[in-house]
Chain A
Amino acid sequence: MLDWIGPAMVIAAKDLRLEMRTKSILSSVGLFALLVVVVASFSFPATGAGKNGVAAGLLWMSFLFSSLLGMGRSFSLEDEEACIEGLMASPAPRESIYLGKLLANLLFIGAVEAVVLPAFLILFQLEPGRGIPLLALTAFLGTLGIVALGTLFSAMAVKTRTREAILPLLVMPLCVPIVIAAVKATETALGGAALSASASWLYLLAGFDALLVTVGLAAFPYVLDE
């Protein structure tokens, strides 16, 4: 299992290099995430008593949709010029390909979130204060789950007739637990609560993430091998 890590890092590094060159994912995903937050805030004004709840929901809608966009794009780059076959013909285990793409996706989406989150706090006039660690941890755990699912299914999506368009159909029903847990924990965080206040939601996220990554590792070879 340890020999999955080396090739995974090589693949993730390649994805980073590619993205630094083109910035195609970061720019489109980043802009999209920001747009969702801004436009949605016109549709659902977050004011008054339920403000934290509405804001948390909007934030996660933005993260979810932009993650799906980014992951679809990431795998379509492998489909161009049959690069995925180049990976499959190398001695890198299939699991490394999954881990490498997962890591790269996580980094890209994490980078986008690192920019969108402060903007979001400012736009909604939120000051989580002591809730920041909870906010950050929730963002990480929630994103990890979405990326674990999305990396697995985007490998499938590129081979379908509608390509990346089918990715939301496949991932969204499956990520309901992630959305529920992440929004609840985020809402609590926005109210300034510490980590312990949302312990059960965090455990749910962490446990579900572990399950998703494990299943992703096990299922990925079946998706790739023709």
Chain B
Amino acid sequence: MSLAPLGISLERVVKRFGPEIALLDIDLEIPQGSYVAVMGPNGAGKTTLLKVIAGLARPTSGHVSLAGVRLSDAGPGLRALVGFLGHESMLYPDLTGLENLMFHARLHRLAEPRKAALETAGLLEVETDLSRPVGSLSRGMRQRVAIARAVIHQPRVLLMDEPYTGLDEHAAASLASLLQRLHTPERTVVVTIHEISRALAGPERIVALAGGRIAMDVTTFEEHERISGEYLSLLARGGER
């Protein structure tokens, strides 16, 4: 079974929350297999961008497409291709890690929910803590279970909103190498990152937003110092509307 190219495409996307403009005139193409860092000052629209791609927010105007299919035309099944991790864990604190994972496996109609849960937990190195209620886990552990939830159905697009926030160096390095492993030619990874050094150390492309618009879109193979400088001056300009 061949897998069709699964690119993400945003055409003239605008997202407003009442009078507040979160995204303005976003034209973005992310080919399959990309590893993209989305950056920008607070309030620039990074979370909204990811939510719009995940189908959690409808654009006010413009279109979001996955594999050439517009989300507005597609049924709910298209969401099976996407894994989303937001600021909050999306885990029920009173259920165990295993129960949470198996719940999501069943939502995704996986053939063997228990097996998938255990395997994914193993990948995230949390298999020993699966029988404890998620609310009793440490922040780092809980985040790993949350990531497991986001990837349990082997999504071909992985969206992660500020996964590095609040992690210590060791945990952050661990996460970075995990993302590197998850990034394959079949899987597109889009991550919101705050630290420019982190963004230059794994992702192949940086898209920076400011005031809801795309202010910077560069590949990271070379010229790290120039990119760094450009991003820092973007931040210094305030980027606020």
Contacts and interface: CB of A to CB of B under 8 A. Distances in A.
Contacts of A89: 54-56, 79, 82-84, 90
Contacts, number: 79
A18 B102 CA distance: 13
A83 interface: yes
Interface residues of B, number: 34
A21 interface: yes
A93 B76 contact: yes
Interface stretch (A59-67, A74-82, A165-173, A196-204): A74-82
Interface in B81-98: 82-84, 86-95
Given A10-B106, A82-B87, A91 B92 contact: no
A211 interface: no
Nearest to B51: A226
A21 B136 CA distance: 14
A82 B88 contact: yes
Given A10-B106, A18-B95, 4 more contacts: A21-B133, A82-B89, A83-B91, A85-B56
Contacts of B109: 6, 91
Contacts of A86: 90-91, 104, 149
- Tell me which of A17, A81, A86 has the highest count of chain B C-beta atoms within 10 A of its own C-beta: A86
Interface residues of A, number: 26
A225 B82 CA distance: 17
B107 A90 contact: yes
B58 A225 contact: yes
A15 to B, nearest CB: 10
Contacts of B178: none
